[in-house]
Amino acid sequence: MSADMARDVVERLRGVFRSGRTKGLAWRREQLRGLRTLLTEREAELADALRADLGKGAVESYASELGFVVNEIDHALRHLERWTRPERVAVPRSLMPARARTVREPLGVVLVISPWNYPVMLALAPMVGALAAGNCVVLKPSELAPATSSALARLLPSHLDDQAVTVVEGAVEETSALLEQRFDHVFYTGNGHVGRVVMRAAAEHLTPVTLELGGKSPALVESGVDLAATARRLAWGKFFNAGQSCTAPDYVLAVGDGTADDLERHLADAIRAMYGDDPSRSPDYGRIVNERHFDRLTALLGSGRVVTGGGHDRASRYIAPTVLGDVKADAPVMAEEIFGPILPVLRVPDLDAALDFVNERDKPLALYAFTGDPASRRRVLIETSSGAVGFGLPNAHLTVPGLPFGGVGESGMGAYHGHRSFETFSHAKAVLDKPLSPDTMRVVYPPFTALKERLVRAFT
């Protein structure tokens, strides 16, 4: 795609938006229902694409991708009318009589750039908010999930208004051409390096951005908790999608003497219970997206003592669910987000040391804590900063429509899901309505007298 071709796409959509066809509630509902129909009627086709790209099983595909977006759509349809109502606000005495309100209006033409790890959910969930807010959308799916990208490009035009929603497939060249254009919002999910590229390009047009990035999300485990249950929760959160989740626990800080040893044993048991003695044969365990990421991940396996797992096969892009023990803070596996099925366990003497460890690093997308001590929970909330905090369960906070999902600092900016998605893709327009009669503004018109000054001081 050349810059001229990208410009033509955006200008065509801008013309559709200016016509007003996307602003009515009927159009918005029609698009959301069309998207829902796509997900339900073409579930098998999309599940096949996800299996081809990532080795996902049908249940995992539904739970984490297709069903997730259906829930987002249903939530938006239930609340759309309320979200779009003008919101009355109080007017100060100095302006009375008058009325004030905020009116939500769509931004215009928005660009959604989605990643490969959840190539359906992370493409369509932002679109739910964009369409609910009444925007035209350009979707750029990831070329690293080619089967899913092709399926979306084929199916979306037949279920949505193809004059208002466009899918652009391709790689760096196509993304770069799109980023040269003036959009009204750019929504990017991916890594921080590309996030900086997106933000620089958007800055040329003063385009607002939402950056959903990642980072090393820690899990703090204190002694005294049910370590068997904790291990099951951690194993599920970490090895779901073969660890290729931005909210997956990236590493564990085992707090206190003996916690790490007991937790490692329970983690091995939990992995065996979920995926069997040979996870490569499990229909519920995925694969690494490509050979480049496979090679990157296998190079990290020597960063500690292998507690369980460690097996791998490049031909099938398989890496076993792996737990590493005795990992040092400066080990290669701790240098960057792992984004794969490797879980390092680090030993720290107490909660002070655990919190210091977290705070010495970039703010994570999520922080998980397993503790039965209310004082520890308060300290985790107050003394750390992260996009989200999960007590007792990783990943699941993003399934709550009422909770904003987003990062802070290096883990991103802006948030979405539920009402926050609608807010992200709309503008809150301030409206003040003051009648011309009676003209109470006379008190602030020059020339100023002593009486006017007293009134100004009294009412402002």
| Residues forming the active site | 212, 246
Residue 449 neighbours by CB distance under 10 Å: 10
Q: What gap in Å lies between CA 7 and CA 244, rounded to an integer?
A: 34
Helix intervals (H) in 204-258: 227-239
Contact present, 132 and 421 (Cβ < 8 Å): yes
Q: Which two tokens stand for residue 197?
A: 């590229």
Position 175, amino acid: T
137 backbone dihedrals φ, ψ, rounded to 5° = -135, 135
Spell out the residues 6+ positions from residue 261 whose beta carbon is closer than 8 angstroms to its own. none
Sheet holding 342-348, edge to edge: 305-308, 322-325, 342-348, 251-255, 218-222, 367-370, 389-391
Q: What gap in Å lies between CA 412 and CA 424, rounded to an integer?
A: 14
> 64: which DSSP letter?
I
Residue 355 neighbours by CB distance under 10 Å: 20
Nearest to residue 230, comparing CAs of 201, 270, 170? 270
